[in-house]
Amino acid sequence: MIMNATTTMWQFYTCFLALVSFSGFVVSFAPPSTKTTAGCASPTELSMSSSSPSSSRRDLFQQTTGAAAIALGASILIQHPRKVQAISLQGPMTEQSALNKANEGYQGVYFDPNHPDGYRIIRTNSKTGKTTMTLSDGVPTQEEAKTYTAAVTVDGNNNAFVFDFSFKGGPKNLKATLADDKQSLAFEDGNIWTKNYYKYDGIYKVTSGPGSENKDAYRVIRRNKPDILLEVNDTGNPADSKFVDGKVGSLFSIPTSQLTFYYNGKGAAQAAASYSVMDALYDFQRSKPPPTTNEYGGTVGQLSFQDRNTVFPYGTITFPDKTVWTRI
């Protein structure tokens, strides 16, 4: 009880000082008034301030606002001493976000600082259990970049890897170790690959909505300078993949952002986006519905990496039709 009382008094004292500072800031804008010898306006002066030539109603409002704020703050602390703490605390991590984090592993899109224009995708086939690396060193010139696919050896604990880079003149058995946070691969030659370097990139599973019934389906999102590229696969066989152009809203807004995918191509999306008011009126007169579009001219998903959001869990992309992709 002594500790609780002390804590409550300390909270009251802290809040009191903050409110005094705030009210002092407000009152400081008021013109100076006649003070008592103690430096404070007397009760008589305050009561007469509304009719005194040296003060106005605004002055009275500014002077009394601070006192009212102090009284209100004191009342809140006395009656509800825990409310001030509750306002500043974030909610706990949601159960779904915790599960999504726990399910993330080594699979993903990796960034190699030695080839900043390229990418490395490490994925395990759900049917065969074999792990492969799809590698491209980027497009340093106007020539088309070469893409390679090579097998990767993974130990039973999923934290030690052996890569064969002989296809590009590199070592045949180069070892790498997955970091404890599963966010990077450290190679024995000193190089480090960062997983999902651009935050939005990675390998996603369809966990809700159309396509979720197929456990072998996957989506890969990677940077496609200056935009993004989506790989859509509904069978688990890389030969069946389809590629869709897209763009990311703003990297500054992550842990939340918007991803736009142009399933019918950028040309069709731009045409739909330019659909004018006169076009809509003309189609309405012909009883023809206007095309489904939005300000982006594409399909927009809400990306979230907030682990306390109860609507959009960590590591998910949610679409208007309630389809959800979850990063693995």
Residues 189 and 316 in one domain: yes
Residues 103 and 224 in one domain: yes
Query: Residue 81 falls within a domain, yes or no?
Result: yes
Please give the Cα distance from 196 to 315 (Å, whole number): 11
Residues 231 and 156 in one domain: yes
The dihedral over CA atoms of 23, 24, 29, 34, expressed in degrees to the nearest 10, equals 110
Residue numbers of the domain that contains 54: 2-88
Q: What is the pLDDT of residue 276?
A: 58
Query: Residue 73 falls within a domain, yes or no?
Result: yes
Query: Residue 134 falls within a domain, yes or no?
Result: yes
Please give the Cα distance from 187 to 171 (Å, whole number): 12
Query: Residue 20 falls within a domain, yes or no?
Result: yes
Cα of first residue to Cα of last residue in the chain, in angstroms, is 48
Residues 79 and 186 in one domain: no
Count of domains forming the chain: 2
Q: What is the pLDDT of residue 20?
A: 42
* Domain end residue (candidates: 88, 120, 146): 88
Query: Residue 271 falls within a domain, yes or no?
Result: no
- Mean pLDDT, 10 residues at a time, the chain of 328 residues: 46 47 39 41 34 44 50 47 40 94 96 95 93 88 73 91 93 95 96 97 95 92 93 92 92 89 74 57 54 61 94 96 95
* Domain end residue (candidates: 88, 109, 133): 88
Residues 114 and 246 in one domain: yes
